[in-house]
Amino acid sequence: MADFGGDTELEAFRAEARSWLEANFPASLKGKGALASAEVRSNEPDLVKWRKAIGEKGWGTPTWPTQYGGGGLSVAQARVLGQEMSRIGAFNPLMFGMGVTMIGPTILDYGTEAQKAEHLPRIVRGEVQWCVGYSEPNAGSDLASLQTRAVDAGDHWVINGQKTWTSGAQYSDWCGLLVRTDPQAKKHEGISFLLVNMKQPGIETRPIGLISGASPFCETFFTDAVAPKEALLGQLNVGWTVGKRLLQHERASQTGASMGGRPPAALNTIAKKYLGTDDKGRLADVDFRSRLVKHEMDAKAHALTLARAAAEAKGNNSPGNAPSVLKNSATWVAQTRAELTLELMGSQGLGWEGDAFNEHEIEAVRSWLWGKAMSIYGGSQEVQFNIVSKRILGLPDTTQSA
């Protein structure tokens, strides 16, 4: 992997990235990253063209090894690429789904060469969608209590059980699935990780509606579904280790470090439109002004900590525990912004539909509702607090963990 450390080299790469993006990113998609996430299977010509171009370039997975189709860029180069994408309102169409953010990095960590060769190039090119089968009706935060079972049937596994909150399962081609393979072992020790083809009759998905009006979540049922023996990722009955590593990758992807997309409008600009200004051009509402400044300071502190963590992780393949801190701070920043946006809009921030509300006002209330899930998915705030207290601060474990 190339490592461009000097400013001159990085600026040369910036010019290369800018030129390539201007030549390949369709102007019709500018600022539509969120829309594309809802249309992951869309055959809209410009989106198909963009997905193909960035996949062939390898820049949808910029730091992955070139031998699997990745970009082979350094972390610094990838950051520059993200800046240039944001500058023109471009986005990474491969980030919507779990192949790039979770499954792919975990296969890079634990996969055999055969597994890497089979799965990674198709993820890089955006040809397949992945979901993750973790939570169950009776195994949420206590995930190790999972009961979905895979039984050894000689040359394959037979899978039976139920998963819930499987994001994007209805669109997915493959699933990274945690299953119990030794029911007699201690609950953390009898779990394995399988790579399961979703396109088979033994798997049924049922979407779960959310209050925000849109949802990626599903219930997923496995009835004598099958997977070949070579679908095992990592060692048999050591899937808990693989599963935890995937969660580290997930939390790292939820720290606010996503690549590209339309930068959010400055909140003070929006506030002035709705709340007005005083004779000095400042927000007229003094109390709101002070709370907005605090929010902007928190957002800046999060961004700087994120940059520092990325620099410290340079050359280190382990995500570490910093994502647990950053996942919570990203949640606080995003939820606070949503709350402030609704507050400054007043009654206009409560619109669901109709001509009385513009698209930004309707988006604000839906985003506010959707953002409530951030405190839960990818590991709840409470789970992250436990990780921070035990693994970073070194506080004693007072829980009754088995």
Q: In which element (H, E) is residue 238 found?
A: none
Which SS3 state, helix, strand or coil, does residue 207 take? strand
Q: What is the CATH number of the domain that holds 283?
A: 1.20.140.10
Per the structure block, which two tokens stand in for 49? Answer: 């063209």
Please check whether residue 17 lies inside any domain of the structure.
yes
The structural domain count of the chain equals: 3
Q: Is the same domain home to 274 and 216?
A: no
CB 106, CB 244: distance < 8 Å: no
Residue from 9, 44, 84, 250 carrying the catalytic annotation = 250
Least confident of 28-37, 94-103, 154-163, 356-365: 28-37
Please check whether residue 220 lies inside any domain of the structure.
yes
Q: Give dist(CA 6, CA 191) in Å, integer.
A: 45
| DSSP-assigned beta bridge partners for residue 227 | 157
DSSP 264: P
Tell me: pLDDT of 71 over 90.
Answer: yes
* 337-393 pLDDT, tens digit each: 999 999 999 998 888 888 888 888 888 888 888 788 788 776 678 877 887 888 788
Q: Is the same domain home to 140 and 224?
A: yes
Q: Is the same domain home to 297 and 227?
A: no
Tell me: pLDDT of 140 over 90.
Answer: no
Q: Is the same domain home to 276 and 187?
A: no
Least confident of 53-62, 213-222, 288-297, 378-387: 378-387
Q: Is the same domain home to 170 and 225?
A: yes
User: Is 250 part of the annotated catalytic residue set?
Assistant: yes
pLDDT given at position 327: 80
Can you give the residue range of the structural domain that contains 344?
Answer: 264-392
Q: Is the same domain home to 80 and 139?
A: no
* 10-46 pLDDT, tens digit each: 999 999 999 999 999 999 888 766 555 444 456 788 9
Please check whether residue 101 lies inside any domain of the structure.
no
pLDDT given at position 315: 55
pLDDT given at position 325: 82
CB 4, CB 77: distance < 8 Å: yes
Q: Is the same domain home to 233 and 311?
A: no
How does the average pLDDT of the chain come out, rounded? 86
Tell me: pLDDT of 64 over 90.
Answer: yes
Longest dimension (CA), the chain: 79
pLDDT given at position 386: 83
pLDDT given at position 143: 84
Q: Could you tell me the pTM of the whole model?
A: 0.76
pLDDT given at position 3: 42
Average pLDDT over residues 148-158: 96
Instruction: Enumerate long-range contacts of 98-101, CB under 8 Å, 24 or more apart.
Output: 98/130, 98/131, 98/132, 98/167, 98/168, 98/176, 98/250, 99/123, 99/128, 99/129, 99/130, 99/174, 100/60, 100/61, 101/249, 101/250, 101/253
Residue 286: phi, psi to the nearest 5? -65, -45
pLDDT given at position 153: 96
Q: Is the same domain home to 210 and 283?
A: no
> What is the number of residues in the chain?
402
Q: Is the same domain home to 377 and 273?
A: yes
Q: What is the CATH number of the domain that holds 59?
A: 1.10.540.10
CB atoms within 10 A of CB 35: 13
Q: What is the CATH number of the domain that holds 149?
A: 2.40.110.10
Query: Could you say which of 79, 96, 113 is where a domain stops?
Result: 96
Q: Give dist(CA 35, CA 167) in Å, integer.
A: 17
DSSP 125: T
Helix residue ranges, H only, 88-187:
104-110, 113-124
CB atoms within 10 A of CB 129: 22
Q: In which element (H, E) is residue 219 found?
A: strand 218-228
Average pLDDT over residues 87-105: 88
Q: Is the same domain home to 204 and 295?
A: no
* 178-208 pLDDT, tens digit each: 999 999 999 889 999 999 999 999 999 999 8
pLDDT given at position 378: 66
Q: Is the same domain home to 17 and 56?
A: yes
Query: Could you say which of 44, 72, 96 is where a domain stops?
Result: 96
CB atoms within 10 A of CB 336: 18
Please check whether residue 246 lies inside any domain of the structure.
no
Q: Is the same domain home to 289 and 384?
A: yes
Under the banding of pLDDT at 50, 70 and 90, the label for residue 323 is confident
